[in-house]
Structure 1
C-alpha cells in the first residue's frame, strides 16, 4: 500500500541539500488531512500514513477547520495538511497510538503541523511559510506549528544536533527531522531531502532461533522472517533489520523447520526507547557479536 505522506530516509548529512530545517521528531501518529472546499463549506478526510481512515481525529480536525473559517482564512482548492498527532495526557507512543486508532471521535488530541500542500509543487520552505501564516492566526493548544530551526550548512546542522543532545529532556526525545528547503511534497516515497535523525538505544541479546518468512498470501519464503531472542527470560520476536538476504536464507537453511540454533549466539538489537513497553518497541537485528558469549541490557 502506498503511503499517504512523504517518508523519511535514515540520516546522512552529506546527502542533504542545504539549507535545511531541523525539528524535534514528535513520538506520535503522523496523519494526512485532505480538505476539499465547496459552496456550502468544506469536507475533509483524515488518514494514517498507511491510508487507514482515522475518525478518532474528527473532533480536533473539525475544530481546526472551523477556526480557519472564523478567522477569515479561506481554502480555495484541494489542500493537504500533515501533522503528528499527540495527546494532552498520554505521552507514551503505545497509549497515543491506541487512542488515535479508535474508530470513534476522541477528545484531548493535539495536531502538531509540520507540512502543507496545495498541490502546486511548491518547495518545502514556501509550504512552511504558508503553514506558519495560517497557524500564526489560529494556533491553539490543540493545533500548533512544529518549530523549525534553520541550518545553513552541514557544520551548522551537526553543531545544532550536538547542542540538542545536552538538553535536559534529551533522553525523552526520539530524534530529529531534517528537511531540505528545496524538498517537494512527494507522498509515498523516500528521498534524501527528508531525513530522520534517530538516536535509538541497543542491547545485546541471546538469539535462540528463527521463524520463517511468508508472503502476503501465506506462502513460505525459505528464509528468516522473525528472529527469536531471550529478553530477561522471555522469548520475544525481533525484526530481521540489517540481516542480509543471503544471511536470512543461510540461517533458515541451517535451522530448517526446527527453527532453533544448536548453540545460541549474541546479537546487537536496536529498539525505540519507550518505558511503556514491558519488552522492546520495534526491535531489529543489527549485527552478530562474535566477541560476546553473554547478553547485556545496557
Structure 2
C-alpha cells in the first residue's frame, strides 16, 4: 500500500520533497559571489543619492549662510529654517503657482503628446520627417532650446512670435511674454510642455503599436466611427501607460529648473518661481544655504508623494 506523500515522516520525506519539487525543502541561500555584482549599484546609490540626501537634511537644520561663515561648526537650529520658510510670503505664493504650473504642463504634454503619437502611428509617405523632428526636439539640451525660445518670445517686434502675431493682425502691440507676471508663467508652462511632448509621443507610439488590430477591425465591422474607435478601443488599451506616464511627468515637471532659469530666472519678481526654484534662489541669490536646503527637503518629500502612485502602478502592472 502506498502511503501519501503528505502522511510520510522521517528522513525520507525531505528526499521525496526534493524529487517532487526539484529543490530542497529548505530555501537555498543566494551565493555571496552573486552579491558582488550588486555592489556597483549600491555604491552608486550611496555616493550619488544617500550621501547628498543626508547632507541636504543635515544642512537644513543648521545655520549655514554668509552671516554664519565666521561661526565655526554651523550651529544646529533645528526646525527654525523650516518655520522661516513656511512663514515666507514667497513660499506661500509659490505653492499655488507650482500647482498651476504642474497641472498645465502635464495636461498639455499628455494631450499634445497623444495627438503626435496618433500621427506617428499612421503609415504614410514622408512619416520619417515628423519622426526626425520629434527626436531632434527631444535631444536638444534644455539650455539651447530655452535660449531659442527666449529669443522667439522677446517682448519686442524683433521676437519671432510677436513678429508673426503683428503680421497676422492678431495683436496691436508686442506681447510681453516673459516680463508680465501672468503671461510669463503661461509662457514657462508652454515651453516646458513643448520640451516634454517628444518623450510622451515616443512612449505612447510604442503603446499604440501594442493595441491588437483585431479590436479596430471588429469596431469597423460594427460601424464605429473614428471617434468611437478612439474612445472605446484606443483609450482603454493605453490607459495603464497614460497613468504611469502622467505620474512621471508630474515628477519631471515638479523639479523643472532649466527653462525657468534661462527664460525668466524666476521673474518678474518671483512670479515664475516654483517651490524647487526657490531652493536655488535662497541658496545662490541670498546665500542662505540652510533655508535653501529646507526648501530642498520639502521638494524631495513632495516628489516622493508623487512617486508612490507611480511605484504602486508599476508593481500592479508587473503582477498583472
TM range (shorter): under 0.3
Given the two structures, how large is their TM-score scaled by the length of structure 2? 0.20
From the two aligned structures, give the one with the greater strand fraction: 1
Given the two structures, how large is their TM-score scaled by the length of structure 1? 0.21
Which protein, 1 or 2, shows the higher relative CO under an 8 Å CA cutoff with sep ≥ 6?
Answer: 2
